[in-house]
Structure 1
Amino acid sequence: MAQETVVSDDVKAEVLAYADPIAGNVMQGFNEGNYTIYSRDFSPEMRQALDEAAFEQNREFVTSRIGLYESRTDPVVTETGEYIAVTYRGEFEREDGVALRLVFQKDDPSHRLHGLWFNSPMLRS
């Protein structure tokens, strides 16, 4: 398994140029319960793995525990093998410091989302 390493500031700036708007779309779609906006930047594999029914289930699970999304800060950009991950510190109505992790494939010029996770103590309990 490849080691996860933090990228240089130059690479971070390049990645955030496309990751920030995608994170914005995902979280807007999440808050609105709008799968079309939420999944707009998904890779075909991701769209198949996280279809609209799964989105609705996941959204219900997350909002019932920590509420709606409010903001994100402090992105950390790391790379592992062929993937780049951006992890934000997210604030939700009932919990701060929720890890919002978006994963992209390095060699994908379309910057499609290949992975998406929300993680926090309240989501794990």
Structure 2
Amino acid sequence: MSQETVISGDMKAEVLAYADPIADNVMQGFNEGNYTMYSRDFGAEMRQALDEAVFEQNHEDVTSRIGLYESRSDPVVTEAGEYIAVTYRAVFEQEDGVALRFVFQKGDESHRLHGLWFNSPKLRS
């Protein structure tokens, strides 16, 4: 993957205008264990890779270690190659500072998710 460059100003605001509502929806679906809501904004490849069975396993793994999602802040928007990533600092019931990373493809007007990662010390242990 190529070097990531931080995006700020108007371009950051444009990205957050679509990324924030998608992040809200994904995390609400996650908390409710609702795969249909969680995956609503997935691109085709992501939907295939992260099907309902994988979601249920991931949901159980994450919630057993750090609990449910509570809030997020401090979005950092970066670009690398053909992708734009938004990384939030999130609070879960049992851990603060969880990195939530949402990846979009540049030029995709539908703003489908191409990647989604949860990362924290408790999730890596």
Other-structure match for 2:87: 87
SS in 1 for 2:42: coil
User: 1:2, CA displacement in angstroms?
Assistant: 1.5
Letter of the 1:58 partner, please give it: N
Measure, in 1, the Cα distance between the counterparts of 2:8 and 2:101. Answer: 18
> Aligned equivalents of 2:9 and 2:97: distance in 1?
23
**Gapped regions of structure 2 (runs ≥ 5):** none
The alpha-carbon deviation at position 8 of structure 1 amounts to: 2.6
What is the CA distance between 1:107 and its match in structure 2?
Answer: 1.4
What amino acid is the match of 2:97? G
State the TM-score, normalizing by the size of structure 1. Answer: 0.99
Q: Give the total of aligned pairs.
A: 125
What stretches of structure 1 of length at least 5 have no aligned partner? none
Once residues 67 and 53 of structure 1 are traced to their aligned partners in structure 2, the CA distance between those partners, rounded to angstroms, is: 19
Percent same amino acid among aligned pairs? 84
In the alignment, which residue of structure 1 is the partner of 2:35? 35
Calculate the TM-score normalised by the size of structure 2: 0.99
Give the CA RMSD over aligned residues.
0.5
Structure 2 counterpart SS, 1:30:
helix
Moved over 2 A (4+): none
Letter in 2 for 1:21: P
